[in-house]
């Protein structure tokens, strides 16, 4: 590697004209994260940053070619340890939040599955969704001084000023599907898109437990729930032939299991796209089990149905259940789906605020951006050796992408973050700019699903 490698890296850096401090915003799942990260991006521009936003895996493969800056990692579990260390060695300042921090089983399970203290060592700040999440982080061993209870921009988008952005898309969905029933699936590991499913169901569950860190009994419960949803969908389709049943699989799921149900009922459809909020706004009824979208639905001041034909206090996700009306059988869920309006459970608002950090006043995006600005720094040179290790990791991931069961496989990446050109990105940015009364940023394509966003404005006065 020597001079040739160094010259190549310097050439790559000249692609980025970023005189201001840089902020990196990786996005893993577009339907869940993209608009929220774009909202944070706009607040970061106000704070004087230039922002590089892109698909997490594709961005990380090229990170050694870009200048150093602040990097917001999307979780702090064991799987992020290697990349966090590498980013730190490259000279980046790391901050973190947990995209899965809104919904989890209990503090012990959350600590075991979602918190790796060696990863936490690499970051300066962990942004908590709300008070309950902050408490779980402390119990998991995250130093209290590293935790900032900031909420999450995903919750900002569900507030009234931003809901208007999605009204047009929601009306379009209602025109197409009428008063439809939305089933949001949350069987990402159980019905994993990249799994090899030639084994028996029990062997499959044991393999998932070994790979994911999920308790085997939890997975067995999930399997029974998965089968129960297979009974619920046709029951809904038959009881309400004039309504459409929409199944939205978890971003990591294999669509084929749900497609089998859709083939046998004309009013059942499996839909996967990058816009969750319009679906939540447009549906007449939302049914789930332990899904994050239930809390997001409640943030829209609507009441979901929690389908719970099998329950176990040791394995049920509590946060979505708190804001939902329970249905303990297929028949009960079908009956509830026929009601014109569902009243929320008692005491749902305080519970929602504790879980999500929802509060009047500043947006979560503004709180996070303000903390980023407090830690801002201008790009510094990355050690050549660290850039070399990062290049080797990129080559390793490129090789893994050839394996069909790898999460680095292009098909799987596209399932979670579909290809996106500049025009499509601007379609997401412009409505946010209108709500914030901001001029749209300048945008430049740096690579496949990687963008540089800059503002001509001056940093916000502080």
Beta bridge partners of 128: 149
Residue recorded with tokens 């935790």: 147
Comparing 353 with 191, the larger pLDDT belongs to 353
Q: Could you give the angle at which helices 131-139 and 348-356 cross, rounded to 10 degrees?
A: 50
Confidence grade of residue 461 (pLDDT, cut at 50, 70, 90): very low
| Sequence-ordered alpha helix ranges (H) in 323-457 | 330-337, 348-356, 364-374, 384-400, 410-416, 422-436
Q: Which helix (H) or strand (E) holds 245?
A: strand 245-248
Confidence grade of residue 5 (pLDDT, cut at 50, 70, 90): very low
As a whole number of angstroms, the distance between CA 370 and CA 79 comes to 28
Contact 373, 95 (CB under 8 A): no
Confidence grade of residue 459 (pLDDT, cut at 50, 70, 90): very low
Mean pLDDT for the stretch of residues 108-130:
96
- The pLDDT of residue 359 is 59
Comparing 141 with 203, the larger pLDDT belongs to 141
With a cut of 60, say whether residue 116 has pLDDT above it.
Answer: yes
Confidence grade of residue 65 (pLDDT, cut at 50, 70, 90): very high
With a cut of 60, say whether residue 86 has pLDDT above it.
Answer: yes
pLDDT, tens digit (0-9, with 9 covering 90-100), for 402-444: 787 777 888 888 988 999 999 999 999 999 999 999 999 999 9
Comparing 254 with 14, the larger pLDDT belongs to 254
Confidence grade of residue 237 (pLDDT, cut at 50, 70, 90): very high
- The pLDDT of residue 192 is 61
Pairing of strands 22-27, 93-97: unpaired
Contacts of 192 (CB under 8 A, 6+ apart): 208, 252, 253, 254
Secondary structure percentages of the chain, helix, strand, coil, to 5: 50, 15, 35
Mean pLDDT for the stretch of residues 290-305:
94
Percentage with pLDDT > 90 across the chain:
64
Contacts of 400 (CB under 8 A, 6+ apart): 406, 408, 409
- The pLDDT of residue 273 is 79
Q: Which helix (H) or strand (E) holds 128?
A: strand 123-128
Structural domains of the chain in order of their starting residue, each with its CATH number? 2-156+363-454 (3.40.50), 160-356 (3.40.50.2000)
With a cut of 90, say whether residue 242 has pLDDT above it.
Answer: yes
- The pLDDT of residue 196 is 58
With a cut of 50, say whether residue 1 has pLDDT above it.
Answer: no
Pairing of strands 123-128, 147-149: parallel
With a cut of 80, say whether residue 274 has pLDDT above it.
Answer: no
Q: Give this prediction's pTM.
A: 0.89
As a whole number of angstroms, the distance between CA 451 and CA 53 comes to 5
pLDDT, tens digit (0-9, with 9 covering 90-100), for 357-387: 665 668 999 999 999 999 987 667 778 777 8
Kindly provide the residue ranges of all beta strands, DSSP E only, lying in 186-311, ordered along the sequence.
245-248, 268-270, 285-288, 305-307
With a cut of 60, say whether residue 255 has pLDDT above it.
Answer: yes
Q: Which helix (H) or strand (E) holds 117?
A: helix 117-120
**Tokens coding 35:** 């608009």
- The pLDDT of residue 204 is 73
- The pLDDT of residue 259 is 86
- The pLDDT of residue 384 is 79
* Max avg pLDDT among 5-19, 60-74, 390-404: 60-74
């Amino acid at each position: 590697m020597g001079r040739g490698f160094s010259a190549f890296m310097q050439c790559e850096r000249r692609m980025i004209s970023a005189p201001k401090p840089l902020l990196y915003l990786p996005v893993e799942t577009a339907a869940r994260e993209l608009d929220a990260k774009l909202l944070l991006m706009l607040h970061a521009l106000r704070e004087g940053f230039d922002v590089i936003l892109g698909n997490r895996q594709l961005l990380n493969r090229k990170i050694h070619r870009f200048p150093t800056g602040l990097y917001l990692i999307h979780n702090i579990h064991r799987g992020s340890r290697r990349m966090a260390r590498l980013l730190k060695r490259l000279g980046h300042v790391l901050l973190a939040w947990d995209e899965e921090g809104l919904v989890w089983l209990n503090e012990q399970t959350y600590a075991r599955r979602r918190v790796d203290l060696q990863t936490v060592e690499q970051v300066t700040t962990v942004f908590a969704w709300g008070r309950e999440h902050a408490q779980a982080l402390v119990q998991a061993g995250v130093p209290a001084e590293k935790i900032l209870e900031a909420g999450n921009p995903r919750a900002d988008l569900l507030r009234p000023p931003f809901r208007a952005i999605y009204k047009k898309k929601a009306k379009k969905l209602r025109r197409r599907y009428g008063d439809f029933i939305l089933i949001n699936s949350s069987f990402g590991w159980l019905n994993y898109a990249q799994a090899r499913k030639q084994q028996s169901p029990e062997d499959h569950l044991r393999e998932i437990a070994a790979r994911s860190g999920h308790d085997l009994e939890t997975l067995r419960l999930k399997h029974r729930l998965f089968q129960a949803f297979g009974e619920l969908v046709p029951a809904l389709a038959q009881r309400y032939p004039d309504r459409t049943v929409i199944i939205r699989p978890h971003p990591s799921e294999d669509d084929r299991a749900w497609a089998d149900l859709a083939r046998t009922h004309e009013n059942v459809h499996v839909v996967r796209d990058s816009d969750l909020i319009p679906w939540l706004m447009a549906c007449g009824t939302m049914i789930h089990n332990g899904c994050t979208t239930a809390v997001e639905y409640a943030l829209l001041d609507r009441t979901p149905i929690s389908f719970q034909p099998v329950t176990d206090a040791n394995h049920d996700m509590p946060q979505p259940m708190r804001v939902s009306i329970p249905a303990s059988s297929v028949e009960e869920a079908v009956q509830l789906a026929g009601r014109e309006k569902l009243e929320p459970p008692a005491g749902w608002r305080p519970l929602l605020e504790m879980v999500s950090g929802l509060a009047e006043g500043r947006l979560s995006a503004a709180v996070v951006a303000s903390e980023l600005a407090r830690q801002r720094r201008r790009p510094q040179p990355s050690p050549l050796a660290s850039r070399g290790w990062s290049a080797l990791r990129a080559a390793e991931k490129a090789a893994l992408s050839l394996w069909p069961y790898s999460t680095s496989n292009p098909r799987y990446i596209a399932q979670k973050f579909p290809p996106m050109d500049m025009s499509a990105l601007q379609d997401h940015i412009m409505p946010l700019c209108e709500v914030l009364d901001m001029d749209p940023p300048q945008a430049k394509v740096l690579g496949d699903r990687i963008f540089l966003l800059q503002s001509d404005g001056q940093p916000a006065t502080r």
